Amino acid sequence: MPAKLIKEGVYSVGAIDWNERHFHGHTYVTKRGVTYNSYLILDEKVALIDTVRHGFQKELIENIKSIIDPTKIDVIVINHIEPDHSGAFPDLLKICPNAKVYGTQKAKQGLLKYYGVCGNWVPVKSGQNINIGKRTLDFIDVPMMHWPDSMFTYSAYDKILFSNDGFGQHYATNKVFDYEVNFDVLMDEAQKYYANILWPFNMIISPKLAAISKLNLNIEIIAPSHGLVWRKHIPEIMQKYLYWSSHSCKNRIAIVYETMWNSTEKMARKIVEGITSQGVESILFDVTKNDRTDIASYMLEAKGWVFGSSTHDGEMLPVIAGFLHFLKGSKAKGRKSFAFGSYGWSGEATKDIENTISNVTFFEPSFKVVFNPTCEELDKCFEIGKAFALKIKSED
């Protein structure tokens, strides 16, 4: 991606990873690819906010070269050390070894552990700032948004908040601003990102957003380190972050299941019929045929979580087991659930489901059937779905 001007003197100089389909190992399916955003600020001093993933350093350096000689960089701000943002740091440091490097104390420790270098390091924390000419860059600690080292950088002169992982989306595009892409797609990617990256840190994010709000920053642009830059839709994304981080959810039910010989699937279909009969929104997810990334995104706003599995060798099936282990890391609150499934002779799957994820959701009694569900048992599935939907609705 060539460098793009985002405000006078401020350029986006990062890289586009068009074909990245598995982020964070295999935990996050990135169907639309990923960007690693980095921002160059030209003032009396030249500042670079964040770098890019290793392998994309050439793109970063070429983009900087299209604006200015990279040896002239005076200041490198490391908002966050995860390798998707710091991977090019060692190469950059070789080009401008005398640049001062700003970040939290934890960021320094992390860089040394990853790369054995941290450059001419200056530790900073909330309340501190540096002057680079017309501009002052203010630092705001945001630990666990996304790692303990994370911080935001704010330029009051530009009215830009450089938010690193905060407000990101995994969306590879050569557009820069939020208004240049389809709004629904953008918000869908922002939700997926929140559900798969930030959800586990709600208890920290929610008060942090409140504290930042009290700073009364004048923000016209939010420039994250992934995806589009927010300019037109800042109120919408702010409202969503407040909603998600407060564990708010809708009268919506996700039914997530894995089936061996379709008996558990037959039960799932009847349960969803019962839910639908009460006008409650729901989606049926066969966990073997859907990306866990999409399922988690839907579940972020779902009050009801229903899980089904056949019993296999005295356990729930392996794909749903993997999904539940992933989901329990969400540390969600305020959800209701029940488990269901078919079995041959022992029927441990429902108990296995409950034991795995009862830390983040409250379970109603489970329902299981032997082998193939009878007509009466399918009727019971319908009734269970109906009763569950009524319970979800009654708790508004």
Chain positions contacting ligand FEO, by CB under 6 A: 80, 82, 84-85, 146-147, 165, 225-226
Residue 170 a catalytic site member: no
> At its nearest, how many Å lie between ligand FEO and the CB of residue 357?
25
Residue 11 a catalytic site member: no
Distance CA 237, CA 240 (A): 5
In sequence order, what are the beta bridge partners of 160?
Answer: 155, 221
The residue (of 84 and 158) whose beta carbon lies closer to ligand FEO is 84
> Coil, helix or strand for 340?
strand
Residue of 17, 84, 189, 258 with catalytic role: 84
In sequence order, what are the beta bridge partners of 315?
Answer: 312
Query: Nearest Cα to 256, choosing from 291, 228, 280, 222?
Result: 291
Distance CA 373, CA 39 (A): 59
> At its nearest, how many Å lie between ligand FEO and the CB of residue 168?
7
DSSP 8-class letter at 71: G
Distance CA 63, CA 285 (A): 42
Residue 312 a catalytic site member: no
> Coil, helix or strand for 193?
helix
> At its nearest, how many Å lie between ligand FEO and the CB of residue 167?
12
Residue 348 a catalytic site member: no
Q: What is the dihedral angle through the alpha carbons of 306, 170, 243, 156, rounded to the nearest 10 degrees?
A: 170
What beta strand segments (E) does 30-119 contain? 34-36, 39-42, 46-49, 73-77, 100-103
The residue (of 172 and 381) whose beta carbon lies closer to ligand FEO is 172
351-360 burial by CB neighbour count: b if 16+ within 10 A, else e? ebbbebbeeb
Residue of 193, 241, 257, 343 with catalytic role: 193
Residue 165 a catalytic site member: yes
Residue of 165, 265, 286, 352 with catalytic role: 165
Residue of 115, 226, 241, 301 with catalytic role: 226
> At its nearest, how many Å lie between ligand FEO and the CB of residue 28?
10
Residue of 11, 20, 59, 80 with catalytic role: 80
The residue (of 17 and 286) whose beta carbon lies closer to ligand FEO is 17
The residue (of 87 and 274) whose beta carbon lies closer to ligand FEO is 87
> At its nearest, how many Å lie between ligand FEO and the CB of residue 153?
15
Q: What residue number has its CB nearest to ligand FEO?
A: 82
Residue 146 a catalytic site member: yes
Which helix or strand (DSSP H or E) is residue 281 part of? strand 281-286
Token code pair at residue 189: 């990617």
> Coil, helix or strand for 127?
coil
The residue (of 138 and 149) whose beta carbon lies closer to ligand FEO is 149
Q: What positions carry a catalytic annotation?
A: 24, 80, 82, 84, 146, 165, 193, 226
